[in-house]
C-alpha cells in the first residue's frame, strides 16, 4: 500500500512514552515484545493476558510499569479459595454509626496484576469480568466506578493444570491481547544474571502520570487508519470464521469458532497503538500483522480434530495472514 503521509516529529506524549520504555529497560532485560504489548494495553485501555512459564519477569514487568507511570497498583494472587469479596470488596457494619458501609477491595486501582488468573473459580471470574467490561463493580446492590485509567494485566502458567480453571470464552474475549512470553536469549540471560545476582533492586523513576496516559490515548485515536486497511482487518478476522472464502478450505474442519467482531476492533486499536509507539501517525499493514497473533490467538476455538493433529491457533493465524491479500 502506498504511503501518502509523512512522518512528523514525535509529540510530547510520544517522547514521554519513549522515556518510560528506556526506564523499563533499566530493570527488565530483553522481553521487548512483552513490554511493547503492555504499552499497547496502556495506550488503548485494553486488558492484557501474559502467558509464560515462571521466572520470565511477567510480574516484575507489570510492577515496574506501575512504578514508572506513578499510578495506584494492586497485585491480586488468584487462588482456588478466593472469593469475589476478596477482589471487589464488601459491606461492613460500623458499630459506631450502626450502619453498613462499603469497604472497597484491591480492584480499585489503576493497574491490577491478576497473578495466575486461571486459579480462581467462576464466581471470582464473573466479578472480574464486570470490572473489565463495565469499568465498575457491584457491592451491596450499588455500582461503584473504577478509577481511570483502569487496566487488568493478568498472568497464567501454561504448564500447570492442577488447581486451575479454564477462563470462560467471554472473559478471554475481553482481553485485548494474549501475549506469549518466551525464554530470553543466552546473552540476555547472562545480562540478567549479572544485574540481579547481587540481590539489589534496580530503582526506576516515574515518567508518566495517569493524566498523561489519558492524553496519549486521545492522540493514539487520531492515528490514521486507511479505509483499505479497515477492509484488510475485516478480511483477516472473517477468514478465521469462513476459511473457505479465503481460499483455505482445509482449515474448516479445524476451527470450531473463529474470532469475534471484537477482534476487528482490537486489531484496529492495537495497530494504531503500535504505529504510535514506532513513531508514525499512520498505520501500515506490517503493524496489523505484528499484532494479529496476539489479538486473535485467544479468540479462536479449535476442534478436537485440530487438537489431535497438534494444530494451534497460531498455525491458523499464520495461514490466514499468508492467504489474505496484503493491501
300: nearest Cα among 313, 288, 281: 313
C-alpha cell of residue 175: 482481553
Residues, the chain: 327
Q: What pTM was estimated for this model as a whole?
A: 0.86
Query: Where in the chain are all domains bearing CATH 3.40.50.300?
Result: 1-220
The CATH topology of domain 223-327 is: Helicase, Ruva Protein; domain 3 (1.10.8)
User: What are the tens digits of pLDDT across the range 111-150?
Assistant: 899 988 888 888 888 888 888 888 888 887 788 889 888 8
Neighbours of 286 (CB within 10 A): 12
Positive or negative torsion for Cα 101, 128, 277, 62: positive
Say what the pLDDT of residue 1 is.
52
Cβ(93)–Cβ(230) below 8 Å: no
The 3-state DSSP class for residue 55 equals: coil
pLDDT surpasses 90 at 296: yes
The 3-state DSSP class for residue 174 equals: coil
Cβ(301)–Cβ(263) below 8 Å: no
The residue ranking higher by pLDDT, 97 or 134, is 134
Q: Which residues pair with 137 in a beta bridge?
A: 144
Q: Domain 1-220: give its CATH code.
A: 3.40.50.300
Amino acid at each position: 500500500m502506498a504511503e501518502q503521509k509523512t512522518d512528523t516529529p514525535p509529540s510530547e506524549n510520544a517522547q514521554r512514552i519513549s522515556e518510560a520504555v528506556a526506564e523499563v529497560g533499566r530493570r527488565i532485560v530483553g522481553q521487548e515484545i512483552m513490554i511493547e504489548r503492555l504499552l499497547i494495553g496502556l495506550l488503548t485501555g485494553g486488558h492484557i493476558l501474559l502467558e509464560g512459564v515462571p521466572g520470565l519477569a511477567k510480574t516484575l514487568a507489570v510492577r515496574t510499569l506501575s512504578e514508572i507511570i506513578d499510578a495506584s497498583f494492586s497485585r491480586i494472587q488468584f487462588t482456588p479459595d478466593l472469593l469475589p469479596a476478596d477482589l471487589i470488596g464488601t459491606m461492613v457494619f460500623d458499630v459506631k454509626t450502626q450502619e453498613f458501609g462499603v469497604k472497597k477491595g484491591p480492584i480499585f486501582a489503576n493497574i491490577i496484576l491478576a497473578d495466575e488468573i486461571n486459579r480462581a473459580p467462576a464466581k471470582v471470574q464473573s466479578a472480574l469480568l464486570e470490572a473489565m467490561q463495565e469499568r465498575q463493580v457491584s457491592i451491596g446492590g450499588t455500582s461503584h466506578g473504577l478509577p481511570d485509567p483502569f487496566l487488568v494485566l493478568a498472568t497464567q502458567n501454561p504448564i500447570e493444570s492442577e488447581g486451575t480453571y479454564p477462563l470462560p470464552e467471554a472473559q478471554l474475549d475481553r482481553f485485548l491481547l494474549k501475549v506469549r512470553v518466551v525464554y530470553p536469549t543466552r546473552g540476555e540471560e547472562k545480562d540478567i544474571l549479572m544485574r540481579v545476582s547481587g540481590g539489589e533492586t534496580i530503582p526506576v523513576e516515574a515518567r508518566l502520570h495517569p493524566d498523561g496516559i489519558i492524553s496519549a490515548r486521545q492522540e493514539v485515536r487520531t492515528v490514521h487508519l486507511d479505509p483499505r486497511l479497515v477492509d484488510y482487518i475485516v478480511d483477516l478476522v472473517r477468514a478465521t470464521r469462513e476459511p473457505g472464502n479465503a481460499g483455505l478450505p482445509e482449515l474448516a474442519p479445524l476451527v470450531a469458532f473463529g474470532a469475534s467482531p471484537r477482534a476487528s476492533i482490537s486489531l484496529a486499536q492495537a495497530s494504531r497503538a503500535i504505529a504510535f509507539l514506532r513513531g508514525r501517525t499512520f498505520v501500515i499493514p506490517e503493524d496489523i500483522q505484528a499484532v494479529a497473533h496476539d489479538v486473535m490467538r485467544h479468540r479462536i476455538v479449535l476442534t478436537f480434530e485440530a487438537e489431535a493433529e497438534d494444530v494451534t491457533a497460531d498455525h491458523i493465524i499464520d495461514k490466514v495472514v499468508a492467504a489474505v491479500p496484503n493491501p
